[in-house]
Structure 1
C-alpha cells in the first residue's frame, strides 16, 4: 500500500518544468511523425486549401521543397496523396507509370535518399471521376473483387517508382492479401504494407476531400468503411490484415477513436499508426484563429493523447512544425 498524505505528495514531481519532463510517462519524438502531403498534376503554384489553413496542394517542385524542410526538421516520413489532371471511372492515373504519384515518388527518392520514409496512399478515390475508392457497378455498388485487381496494379506501379511503404486505405475485403501477392510477384517481397486496418466512415474527413478533390459524387463510403458505433469489429479487421501479410496497421481517425487505438495496441505486436485527420486539424486551427484556445498547447496535447493511447507512428498535418519544436 502506498503512503498517504501528508507523506505522499504527488505535486512534488510537478513543481518545475524540468521535473515534469523527467517524470513524463509519454514522450513524442520527431521520428514518430509522418507528414501527409498533396501533390497535384498540372498546377504551377501551390494551391491553398481553404478548409485546412496552412496546407496546400503542391506542385512537384514545391513538394520537393516541403519534403526537404520536413526532413530537416526530423520527421520520420511523408505519405503522398496525388491529384491527377484527368480522372476516369477506373482511376487509370493511379497505376500509370507517369502518373503524378509515381513521378513524385521518384522525385523524393532522388532527393531524400534514406533520410525519411516515403509512403504512398494506395486507393482510387483521388483518381476516379465518381470519387469512390473502387470500381463502381451499374447499380452504384462498389465491386470489391474487381477493385482488388486495380489495387494490385497500383501497388506494383508504386513499388516500381521506388516507394518505401504502400498504405492501402480503401477498406476492401482481401486488399492486403491481393497487394502482398502483387508486390511479391513483381519482385518486391521486401516492401512493407501499412494497412489502414481500422478506418471509420467519419465526418472528420471533410477537409481532406477538399484537398484531394475526392468527395463522392453520389452516395457515401459506409458500405466499406466502419460504423463509428462499433469497436469490436476493428480488432477483427486488424487480425485479418495481419493474417494477409500487413506489416503495420493504422487507426483512422485518431482523436475520436483513442479507445479503439488502445485496444489495437494491446492486441498486436506490430507497429501501430494513427492518423490525426483533416477534421481534427481544421477544428484546432479554426478555434485558435478565433482565439478560443492556445494553438501550440492544443496541438501538443492532442498528439500526446494519441501517443499515450498507444500509437507508435502518428500521421499529422503538423508533423514538420512539431518536429521542429521537438
Structure 2
C-alpha cells in the first residue's frame, strides 16, 4: 500500500498581499508624512486659576503642576504660554469674598477683571477667554441664584450678562459662559451688543455634562456646592441627542464657537457635534482627566508624555478644533 506524500506549500508559491498598509509605517519620516491628525500648540487653550493677594503660587494637590496664582504670577504663566505658541488662556477667579449672588463675579475690579487687564497689558496678542459662571463666587457654590435649594434660571441670567460685560470691558477677547442656564447665550449676546461690544465672540459651553471628572477643579476653584449637586442644570451623561438640541439652541441664540465638556468620556458627543455643526468646536480636557494621567505617570504605570499626546490627539481626531487642557504647556514643549 502506497502512502501518499504530503505536499508542502512554500511561502514562495503563495500569493502575496496586494495591499500592504505597513509600507507607510516603515520610518518616522514616512509616518509623519501620512499622519491624518496633527497636534499643534495653536490648538490649545491653557486654564489659569487666579486668586487675590501678592506672590501667591499655591500648588493644587490633586493637579500636580497646576497652581492657584496671584495676578502677577498669572501674567508670568500667560507669558510663558504665549512663548510656547499657545495662543489663548481661559481664566477662573477665586475671590476672597463670596456671597449669595456672587457679586465679585461681575464687579469691575473683581479678580478676573483685574487679571484680564494685567494679562492683556503684558501680552496684547494673547487671546484671553473669560469663563462666565457664578460658582466660584457664590457662598453656596452653585452656578446661579439659589432659592429654596434650587438654582433659579431666569434670575441668574442678568448676573451672567453683567459678568460678561465687565470682563469684555476689562479686555477679554472671548466670553465663555459655562453655567448651563437656559437662554444665557442670547442674554449675553444682547448685553454685549447694547454696550457696543458687538465684536466680542461667545464660546459657549454648549454641552456640559454633570460629571464626576470635575473633582480636582472644584479643589482648585473652591467651587464645590455646599448642598445638593448640579444635575438639575448640567446634562445627564447618558444623553447625546439632548446635547445636539442644546448646541442648536446656543447657535440660534448667537454662539460663535461651541464646546463639549468633558472630553474623554464624551468623544462620541464631540464627533456628533462636529458632524452636525460648522462652527469652531472646542473640547475641555478636564481636571479629572488630567489628574488620572498625572497619577499614573508618577507611579510609573504609563509613559506619561506619550499617553498625554495620544490623549490630546484622540480629542482632536474626534473633531475638536481647540482643546482646553492643563497639559498645554507640557504638550507645547514636546511639539
TM-score range, shorter chain: over 0.9
Q: How much has 1:325 moved relative to structure 2?
A: 1.8
Size of the alignment, in residue pairs? 321
Q: How much has 1:6 moved relative to structure 2?
A: 1.5
1:153 corresponds in structure 2 to: 162
Structure 2 portions without partners, runs of 5+? 1-14
2:215 corresponds in structure 1 to: 206
Does structure 2 retain, via aligned residues, the 8 Å contact 1:201–1:226?
Answer: yes
Normalised TM-score (structure 1):
0.97
Normalised TM-score (structure 2):
0.95
Matched, 1:71 2:82: yes
The whole-number CA distance in structure 1 between the counterparts of 2:227 and 2:89 is 31
Helix, strand or coil for the counterpart of 1:286?
helix
Q: How much has 1:5 moved relative to structure 2?
A: 5.3
Does structure 2 retain, via aligned residues, the 8 Å contact 1:74–1:324?
Answer: no
Q: How much has 1:44 moved relative to structure 2?
A: 3.1
2:283 corresponds in structure 1 to: 274
The whole-number CA distance in structure 1 between the counterparts of 2:137 and 2:16 is 62
The whole-number CA distance in structure 2 between the counterparts of 1:325 and 1:21 is 15
Q: How does 1:129-278 map to 2 (within 5 A)?
A: 129-137=139-147, 139-278=148-287
Helix, strand or coil for the counterpart of 2:121?
helix
Matched, 1:126 2:165: no
Does structure 2 retain, via aligned residues, the 8 Å contact 1:40–1:100?
Answer: yes
2:11 corresponds in structure 1 to: none
The whole-number CA distance in structure 1 between the counterparts of 2:322 and 2:71 is 26
1:7 corresponds in structure 2 to: 18
Question: C-alpha offsets along residues 245-294 of structure 1, whole Å, 9 cap, x if unaligned?
Answer: 00000000001100000000011111000000000000000001111000
The whole-number CA distance in structure 2 between the counterparts of 1:31 and 1:310 is 15
Helix, strand or coil for the counterpart of 1:96?
coil
The whole-number CA distance in structure 2 between the counterparts of 1:127 and 1:259 is 32
The whole-number CA distance in structure 2 between the counterparts of 1:150 and 1:98 is 16
1:94 corresponds in structure 2 to: 105
The whole-number CA distance in structure 1 between the counterparts of 2:35 and 2:26 is 13
Helix, strand or coil for the counterpart of 2:143?
coil
The whole-number CA distance in structure 2 between the counterparts of 1:185 and 1:146 is 19
The structure whose Rg is larger is: 2
The whole-number CA distance in structure 1 between the counterparts of 2:293 and 2:329 is 17
Q: RMSD between aligned alpha carbons?
A: 0.9
Q: How does 1:36-115 map to 2 (within 5 A)?
A: 36-42=47-53, 44-114=55-125
Does structure 1 retain, via aligned residues, the 8 Å contact 2:174–2:203?
Answer: yes
